[in-house]
Structure 1
Amino acid sequence: MKGRRHFSFILTSVLALSLTLTACGEANNKQAEDNSSNGPGNDSAAIEPFGKYDPPIDVTAARFITQDVVYPDGQSESDNAWESLYQEMGINLSYDWIVKGTDAQYFQKLNLSIASGEIPDILMVNSSQLKQLVEADMVEDLTEAFEKYASPAVKDVFHKDKMALQSATFDGKLYAIPKTEPMIGAQTPVLWVRTDWLSAMNLPEPTTWEEVLNLSEAFTTGDPDGNGQADTFGIALGKEIINGYPSLNGFFNAYGAHPRIWKKDDSGNLIYGSIQPEVKTALGVLAELYQKGQLDKEFGVKDGSKVAESIVSDRVGLLFGPSWASQWPIQDNKKKNNEAEWRPYPIPSVDGGNATVQMPFGASFYYVVKKDMDHPEVAVKMANLFLEKLYGETADYLKYGVDGEGISTAKYSLIDLFAPDKDLKRAQNVAAALEKGDPAGLNPEEKSTYDKVLAYRDGGDLNFYGETYQSGPEGAMVVLQQLTDEGKIIAEGYGGAPTDTMGEKRATLDKMETETFTKIIYGALPLDQFDKFVEDWKKLGGDQITQEVNEWNASQK
């Protein structure tokens, strides 16, 4: 998957737009007739957020599709409801290539495309690739296009997530549309627990870290599934230890460690979370758990899909994961074994109370437009269209967002973005409507969630088990709201574009970090090797990155 990928289907409440596509289309047709001699790039219709291209324009793109996605009958990656919308806007979209698999496979292919100098008109890139493309002068400056064409709803997203646009800005020019996500719902961890195993073993719900570790041991050694075999283990983990799925971000957070993000120290300077002493403490505990069989012996070679198979097959009892984990793979576990029950909890701190959990930066990826494309504003219009069809006056969430079968069936738009607080708002509004028994006032996405929760509650429809425990009154978003109210969520502190040294060194440093942490957990390296990692990290570019990050930090004051 990579979960958050589903993640991208967890949609938000933003400003409604005052124009409908129909109205825009009629206005644009008239304007096109009046300005036909100027061509589509010059006629006044083109400055409308939803202005139709007449005659149509051809746009090429590259595409990443997660391997778990299934389209409705008659639709596909290149022929679906969103493609039809683009055609209505006068956009003939075609794909130079599509990767259906993991994001790593997509970015690997994209690197080859960049190296060849041949890229499509629109593509999604990561932060390092964005910097590379800007420095190579291969992508368009979108500053003017964004200011002219971005709808009020799109501008509102970036008003709420101010650092997102900063991260795509180089020398005062905007070179990409950030793919913003509501990270508090998409990546901020909670503790998922097999509560039916708690009941079977007469164990308490975890409120302290000691109880969490006791559950890990019990789920490993106590035969929680009652089959008489030693085939279960405590904690789900895959090869992407940090920021992957499933990761151990939440486990580290319990120890006051916040790996792979920049956070402020007592002096207000930014420090890198992965090199702090609390990380070493957590790694030592993880190494002990691995030796005791409480982690999958083969976690270092398993991606998220393989780990999900273990969860679905009743082999794991604890998962440090995001809110959407209830929809995948927990819902699949419930469908396979109706006795299975999972519930979300705050992650306890080793120091007592709830741990302060980490939230990644709101934009991990970016949409760029090829240099000298005739209509660079088309990417902005696609962003406008995404928010309009999900939350605007012409919204149809069930058609263009997620259908009644759940998040495994998606109608992808090429470009999507979300307001940072939309998942929290959805959960709050749905809970209030359920308490009143009245969905009036809910936006289309919220009404969809409301209906799904009722379908599970009243009809036992397991297709909506995940939705219920993500966004329902007992769901993960309620836990995250509690942590928000307690001030127990720490966000990524650096919001600038990749620094020079980041562009050159970060991939190597991240790889070294993952390899070192994995080997320490495996027992292939002693715990004190962490100190050597910190020393190497600093020498190999980390100190320079820290200096550059803090120069940016100082400029924000």
Structure 2
Amino acid sequence: MNNNSIVKQITVLMLISIISFSLVACNDKDSSKVTESTEVGENAHGKYTEEITYTLGRLTVQNSKLPEGDTYENNAYTRYVKEKLNAVCVDAFEANGEDYDRQVSLAISSGDLPDMMRVGDKNILDELVENDLIADLTEVYDTYGSDYLKSIYDSYDGRALDTAMYDGKLMALPGTNVDSAPSEVWIRQDWLDKLDIIIDEDGNGCITIEELEMVAKTFREKDPGNSGNPIGIPLAYWLNSNDYGGSNHCMTGIANAFGAYPKLWLQDEGGNIYYGSTTKETKEALGVVKKWYQEGILDPQFGTRTWDDITALLINGQSGIVFGAWHIPDWLLNNIRAMDNNAVFSAYVIEDENGKANVFHNNASNGFIVVRKGYEYPELAIKIANIFYDEFANSKTLATDAPEVSKYHVDAVDGATRPFNIEINKYTSLLDDYSDIRRGVNGEIPIEEARTVESRVIIENVTKYLKDYENSNVTDWAKYHSRMKGVALIEKLTNEGTFNWVNPVFWGTTDTMKTNWANLEKLEEEMFIKIIIGATSLDEFDAFVNDWNKQGGAQIIKEIQETLK
């Protein structure tokens, strides 16, 4: 044997020894945190050998429906995480709405972040990254993320994860935001029947602007709700939304019918960026709403009503027309049904002059879960996500495996009571779930074959409603309306090719937006209100566009153009 052969053998033996030592060391390190298994699929749900804690910044809701004795910190969800992972939840702070945003800002300014928290604003996520306050989740996502969790994000073709990527690093776990278009107009069907009004005669699920105008005018004149003070259509003073989930009480559906997309950044065929609130189509839509105000078809107190005021108009029977997403029966229209046992709604979309439903794609992400830099167990965030967005979502034996959690689903306890107040769903999940629900209700599949626990619960809700709709409870009524009317309309329009999709090109924040956007939004809101109530003419819209450009709008467009390049 020559010297070269001896050297090669020694080198190989040394490499084997080093690799073996490294593997042992890695296993020893992992064993202090997770169960003995080193398979990624099993580690995705691995239980810590010793109890650990995780502190949370908790975004709450006004009506969580938590059972008596349960709290955000100690409930069926957090108890399951304790049982499954040996991890105990401690809420660092709890707050709702703007109060929560203030708590997040306080935590950032003091440098005292909880181990994990929800961030709703991309600007705040930018700030956390810039100040090196949160953990890089790239490695733990790759290692601990379940195959199904990863497939969810993959279904968005990178659009969701990209919103949390900085220099190739995943700095947060984004909530997903499936397309929920269109903004539907929900009309009291019991009132239409009472007044012998027939709309949508061809049954395509679409109505014209003229049909909507006729219904609103008739409701105001005939007062089918016996309120004594009927109004036509109530709209919120902010008028438009750049997300269908937030389009409730907005004129978004009206604007879309004119090919207008207020509050969105779009690109024309020549590659030029423009702002949807400044187009001639938006001007045309404002002209129609202005006309309605003049004729008494629009709420005469438009511009002064709060969200609660508008909701009260619907509950009191003063209006039977409301704009919103497919899911508003679950949390808004159910309040009307609770007060009026005869209330029945039908959902429509306003079509354009060509019979198309113009719609835009939502931002693919909605909220982010961040982990404090320096937290010892960053992989816990991924493990918790695996439980709620994979294990629970796909379990067919949840009632026996986690009876407390299953009862939460049945009792419609709000999802905000989970450790993470975000949703992570496949892009196709809305129609996938509806397909299961429809087939389950029709007896085409046994209920246990529905893919998700929620779908199986809703099949039961809808079945009970259909058996005795006159005496149905509010929850069964709401689930029937949201799925068998709201989502059914989306499925119908999708299958029939009625949707005309538009892709917004920018969802971020530029430098000038940071300093000028609040004033530009105020300028837009005030001008639109003045135009509608007649305080200024429709022709002043052109002057508004000029002012908007001069006060920073043109510079913002330039910055977006550069960013996209």
TM class, shorter-length: 0.7 to 0.9
What is the SS of the residue equivalent to 2:490? helix
- Name the amino acid aligned to 1:533: F
Report the TM-score when normalising by structure 1: 0.83
Deviation at 1:151, TM superposition (A): 1.3
- 1:516 paired with 2:527, answer yes
Q: Matches of 1:453 and 1:316 in 2, distance apart? A: 26
Spell out the pairing of 1:368-387 with structure 2 (5 A cutoff). Answer: 368-387=370-389
Name the counterpart of 1:136.
131
- Residues in 2 aligned to 1:205 and 1:511: alpha-carbon distance in whole angstroms: 37
Q: Give the letter aligned to residue 163 of structure 1.
A: R
The one-letter code matched in structure 2 to 1:81 is: A
The equivalent residue for 2:4 is: none
Bigger drift between 264-273 and 378-387 goes to 264-273
Select which of 245, 268, 273 maps to 2:276. 273
Match of 1:81 in 2: 76
Name which of 165, 168, 189 aligns with 2:161: 165
Q: Is 2:455 aligned against 1:455?
A: no
Contact 1:163 1:496 survives alignment (8 Å): no
CA contact (8 A) 2:74 2:89 kept: no
Which residue of 1 is the match for residue 491 of structure 2?
481
Which residues in structure 2 correspond to 1:144-543 (within 5 Å)?
Answer: 144-161=139-156, 162-184=158-180, 188-206=182-200, 207-226=207-226, 229=228, 231-243=229-241, 244=246, 245-349=248-352, 351-393=353-395, 396=398, 399-400=404-405, 403-406=409-412, 411-416=417-422, 417-440=424-447, 441-443=449-451, 444-460=453-469, 461-462=472-473, 463-472=475-484, 475-485=485-495, 486=497, 488=499, 490=501, 492-494=503-505, 498-543=509-554
CA change 1:93–1:309 in 2 (3 A) is same
Quick one: distance in 2 between partners of 1:467 and 1:368? 32
Q: How far apart are the structure 2 equivalents of 1:284 and 1:57?
A: 60
Aligned counterpart for 2:64 among listed residues 66, 69, 79: 69
Q: 1:333 to 1:236 in 2, by over 3 A?
A: same
Residues in 2 aligned to 1:409 and 1:141: alpha-carbon distance in whole angstroms: 26
Over 3 Å counting, the alpha-carbon distance change for 1:81 and 1:234 in structure 2 is: same
1:167–1:496 contact (8 Å) kept in structure 2: no
Moved more, 91-100 or 507-516: 507-516
Q: Paired residue for 1:15?
A: none
Uncovered stretches (5+) of structure 1, i.e. residues with no partner: 1-30
Q: Please give the secondary structure, in 2, of the residue aligned with 1:403.
A: helix
Give the match's secondary structure for 1:543: helix
Structure 1 residue 163, shift from structure 2 partner: 0.8
Tell me the equivalent position of 1:27: none
- In 1, Cα distance between the equivalents of 2:57 and 2:254? 36
Between 1:48-57 and 1:389-398, the stretch displaced more is: 389-398
* Equivalent residue, structure 1, for 2:49: 54
Q: Distance in 2 between matches of 1:66 and 1:81?
A: 17
Q: Secondary structure of the equivalent of 2:357?
A: coil
C-alpha distance 139-530 of structure 1, shift in aligned 2 (>3 A): farther
User: What displacement does 1:494 show?
Assistant: 3.0
Cα drift, residue 266 of structure 1: 2.4
CA distance in 1, matches of 2:134, 2:108: 11
Return the letter of the residue paired with 1:191.
V
Change (3 A) 1:37 1:170: closer
Q: Distance in 1 between matches of 2:113 and 2:535?
A: 42
Residue in structure 2 matched with residue 115 of structure 1 by the alignment: 109
Alpha carbons of 1:43 and 1:35: their partners in 2 closer, same or farther (altered >3 Å)? Answer: farther
Change beyond 3 A, Cα 1:324–1:281: same
The residue matched to 1:294 in structure 2 has which SS?
coil
Instruction: Pick closer, same or farther for the CA change 1:114–1:489 going to 2, 3 Å.
Output: farther
Shift of 1:260: 1.8
Structure 2 counterpart of 1:99, from 90, 95, 100: 95
> Is 1:124 aligned to 2:118, yes or no?
yes
Post-superposition Cα deviations, 1:406-464, rounded to whole Å, max 9, x if no partner, equal 46687433253222221111112222233345325212222222111101001332321
What is the total number of aligned residue pairs between the two structures?
515
Distance 2:368 2:113 in 1: 15
Supply the distance in 2 between the matched residues of 1:137 and 1:502 (Cα, whole angstroms): 23
Equivalent residue letter for 1:241: L
Aligned-partner Cα distance in 2 for 1:141–1:85: 26
Change (3 A) 1:265 1:363: same
Aligned-pair CA distance for 1:68: 2.9
Amino acid at match of 1:412: R
CA distance in 1, matches of 2:369, 2:465: 37
Q: Please give the root-mean-square deviation of Cα atoms over the aligned residues, in Å.
A: 3.1
- How far, CA to CA, are the matches of 2:560 and 2:498 in structure 1? 24
The aligned counterpart of 1:23 is none
2:94 match: secondary structure: strand
The one-letter amino acid of 1:442's match is: A
Work out which of the residue numbers 527, 547, 553 in structure 1 matches 2:558: 547
Distance in 2 (CA, whole Å) between partners of 1:433 and 1:156 is 25
How much does 1:289 deviate?
2.3
1:525/1:381 Cα in 2 relative to 1: closer, same or farther (>3 Å)?
A: farther
Partners in 2 of 1:419 and 1:392 — Cα distance? 12
- Any conservation in 2 of the 1:72–1:409 contact (CA below 8 Å)? no
What 5-or-longer segments of structure 2 have no aligned partner?
1-23, 201-206
Where 2:409 maps in the other structure, the secondary structure is: coil
1:201-234 deviations in Å (ceiling 9; x for gaps): 222224322111111222223322245x2x2222
Query: Using a 3 Å threshold, how does the CA distance of structure 1 residues 117 and 446 change in structure 2: closer, same or farther?
Result: same
Q: Is the radius of gyration larger for structure 1 or structure 2?
A: 2
What amino acid sits opposite 1:222 in the alignment?
Answer: K
TM-score (norm 2): 0.82
